[in-house]
Amino acid sequence: QSVLTQPPSVSGAPGQRVIISCTGSSSNIGVPGYDVHWYQQLPGTAPKVLIYGNTNRPSGVPDRFSGSKSGTSASLAITGLQAEDEADYYCQSYDSSLSCWVFGGGTKLTVL
């Protein structure tokens, strides 16, 4: 079981908006200053940074992707869904109780 909890799957039609949640605890996401990062993993490829520091997009990532953090949870929102967004998405943070970096269980996004 992953320390950070994500829904196994989400889906949406092209053009729609989907939200992927990442639920943690007071020893990881809930710690002030502990950032949440999001990675996109296209089939057969390595993960790529999608959102870093809770809300920041690397250059080249469309502004259709946005991140937020509140309390012990974080969310990734994708608007204007496109077929190319079909991928697995992972959240990641640091856990002070475990003293290690932790990932969510991953969410498979299907574009209908």
Residue 99 binds to other proteins (criterion: CB under 8 A): yes
Residue 53 binds to other proteins (criterion: CB under 8 A): yes
Q: How far is the CB of 47 from other proteins (least distance, A)?
A: 6
Interface stretch with other proteins, choices 12-20, 42-50, 70-78, 79-87 (CB under 8 A): 42-50
Residue 100 binds to other proteins (criterion: CB under 8 A): yes
CB 100 within 8 A of CB 1: no
Phi-psi region of 60 (alpha: psi -120 to 50; beta: other; left: phi over 0): left
Interface stretch with other proteins, choices 14-22, 40-48, 64-72, 74-82 (CB under 8 A): 40-48
Q: Among candidates 23, 10, 30, which has minimal Cα distance to 88? A: 10
Sequence-distant (≥ 6) Cβ neighbours of residue 6 within 8 angstroms: 20, 21, 22, 23, 89, 90, 91, 104, 105, 106, 107
> Where along the sequence are the contacts to other proteins (CB under 8 A)?
2, 34-35, 37, 39, 45-49, 52-53, 58, 90, 92-94, 98-106
